[in-house]
A = this chain, B = another copy of it.
Amino acid sequence: MKLSKKGEYALRALIDLGIAREVGRELVQVTELSDKELIPAKFLEQIMQELKAAGFVIAQRGKFGGYRLARPAAEITIGAVVRFVDGPLAPIGCVSHSAYEKCSCPDEEHCGLRMLMLDVRNAIAGILDRYTLADVVEVTLRKLRRDSLPLPFASARPAPGVRVKRVPVSRRSTSTSRRLAPVEGLLSELLPDYAI
């Protein structure tokens, strides 16, 4: 039930872009991301390329260029990213919503294993499709502030002449209408506005 390195790197980079925006940074360069997250730079470059093609990020070429999120972090679910990079969330094809595939078993309708795996896929999707980059950004920032640690991207490499504007951290990363039932979990404890 693994998430690939590529998937992990993609998520980490996107979360960083979310943090950067929250801290007032417009653009972040690949090398900054790869340095911070200890990701091979050239590999991340490729990944960012794909994320751009998929519409998750927007690139600014040339000197003082970089990447930024193409949409508000609250509108990018973790599930969408994972599906794009690693394929369907479902453990087996015959319970996938996004990429159903008939399984080899003779009678899908009476397959107990399928029921079980459907529960698993629903559990996974229930989490990954509920939470967005904004949620993860919020949790991360909250933890850093709690421990009085310096925020990343805070004033690192601001493009010369660009005044760093201190954007107040948005109270609730807004938008994303909560569409599902109450959840339990570590994240929902840290994001208490969800517990309804």
Residues of A within 8 A of B (CB): 1-3, 8, 11-12, 15, 36-39, 78, 82, 86-92, 104-106, 109-113, 115-120, 122-124, 126-128, 131, 135-140, 143-144, 147, 149, 185-187, 190
Contacts and interface: CB of A to CB of B under 8 A. Distances in A.
Given A1-B90, A1-B124, A116-B128, 18 more contacts: A1-B1, A1-B88, A2-B2, A2-B91, A3-B117, A8-B92, A36-B106, A38-B104, A112-B138, A116-B127, A116-B136, A116-B139, A116-B187, A118-B186, A119-B185, A120-B127, A122-B185, A123-B123
Copy number of this protein in the oligomer?
A: 2
Which interface residue of A36, A106, A110, A127 has the most chain B CB atoms within 10 A?
A110
A33 to B, nearest CB: 12
A195 B25 CA distance: 49
Given A2-B1, A3-B92, A92-B3, A139 B124 contact: no
A111 B147 CA distance: 13
Across the A-B interface, give the 5 residue pairs with the lowest CB-CB distance, nearest first.
Answer: A112-B140, A112-B136, A119-B185, A123-B123, A3-B91
